[in-house]
Amino acid sequence: MYVRRAYVREANRPGRAERGRWPFTVPCVAELAEEGLTFQAPVTFLVGDNGSGKSTLVEAIAEGFKLDSYGGRLAAKRGRPDSVKTALGEVLTLETTAAGSRMLGGPRSRKQGFFLRAETAFQMTENLGGVPGYWEDNTAEMSHGEGFLTVFREMFNKPGFYVMDEPEAALSFTSCLHLVSLLHELGQTGAQVVCATHSPILAATPGADIIEVGEHGFRRIKWDELELVDHWRRYLTNPDNYLRHIID
């Protein structure tokens, strides 16, 4: 593992005025600022409704490790300097392990890791096909899901710090299962993954730590107890349980 904890230093804690403004109005961000968030397993999932703050968290965590949405190796060339940060990224500190400190303090070329953002991931698969050091296959000729899986296989093959925001967006059920096996393998081989997801398939990755984000802030929870899993179970058993409330 590379990152043990994400927290806000005393001196950077929001004052009363700031607590009334975004992002500290988001309950999980407020809790992070107060308590910090520990990472207890190589693979951590953040699960929660739209707007619960998952992207805000993972973006700031990725920034803390100097990853951006184009990945560590190309970040410098892509023009977004490290100094441009999100509001939470400005104040967030990562407590790294010895391996994490070495990687973060070392040259960019030795940094292994990636921030995969749902909104930009597909564009990225198109732009980076054929760039040396990235994947060889031409992902533009593949379907959306195939391109994603190719990228995942090529990019996530070394120990490093991988941050992902809803990587399941383009994936079928079967492709999600492939991604589960990749994530699990990453976790088993010394990498660390922090992943925001709506997918009950991904969240079931064996050995993963699941943090449910919502009005309450955040809490550790078992897969079985996730609201998301409960909704899917009930919907698949009988869609009408839900549909009768929304369709006349």
Residue 27 Cβ, how far from Mg ion at the closest point, in Å?
15
* Binding status of residue 55 toward Mg ion by CB under 5 A: yes
* Helix, coil or strand: residue 210: strand
74: left (phi over 0), alpha (psi -120 to 50) or beta: alpha
| Chosen from ligand ADP, Mg ion, none, partner binding at 26 (C-beta under 5 to 8 Å by type) | ligand ADP
Residue 54 Cβ, how far from ligand ADP at the closest point, in Å?
3
Smaller CB distance to ligand ADP: residue 213 or 229? Answer: 213
Give the neighbor-by-neighbor strand order of the sheet with 209-214. 113-117, 161-165, 192-197, 43-47, 209-214, 217-220
Angle at 73 between CA 70 and CA 75, to 5 degrees: 45
Smaller CB distance to ligand ADP: residue 80 or 110? Answer: 80
Q: Please tell me the total number of residues recorded for the chain in this structure.
A: 248
Residue 195 phi, psi (nearest 5)? -135, 125
Residue 199 Cβ, how far from ligand ADP at the closest point, in Å?
14
| Contact characters 4-33, Mg ion, x per CB under 5 A | ------------------------------
Residue 54 Cβ, how far from Mg ion at the closest point, in Å?
5
Please give the span between the terminal C-alpha atoms of the chain, in angstroms, as a whole number: 51
The token pair at 26 is 């988001």
The token pair at 186 is 């990453």
CA nearest to 116, candidates 52, 181, 70? 70
* Binding status of residue 197 toward Mg ion by CB under 5 A: no
Residue 26 Cβ, how far from ligand ADP at the closest point, in Å?
5
Q: By CB under 5 A, which span of 17-25, 51-59, 100-108, 205-213 interacts with Mg ion?
A: 51-59
Interface contacts to ligand ADP, rule CB under 6 A: 22, 26, 48, 50-56
Residue 86 Cβ, how far from ligand ADP at the closest point, in Å?
7
Smaller CB distance to Mg ion: residue 67 or 103? Answer: 67
Residue nearest to ligand ADP (CB): 55
Parallel, antiparallel or unpaired: strands 92-96 and 43-47: unpaired
Distance (Å, rounded) from C-alpha 235 to C-alpha 248?
A: 18
Smaller CB distance to ligand ADP: residue 41 or 87? Answer: 87
| Chosen from ligand ADP, Mg ion, none, partner binding at 170 (C-beta under 5 to 8 Å by type) | none
Residue 197 Cβ, how far from ligand ADP at the closest point, in Å?
10
Smaller CB distance to ligand ADP: residue 103 or 226? Answer: 226
Give the neighbor-by-neighbor strand order of the sheet with 92-96. 37-38, 3-8, 92-96
* Binding status of residue 205 toward Mg ion by CB under 5 A: no
User: Hey, CA dihedral for 163, 167, 173, 178, is it positive or negative?
Assistant: negative
- Residue identified by tokens 């990152």 is 3
Provide the binding-site residues for Mg ion, judged by CB under 5 A.
Answer: 54-55
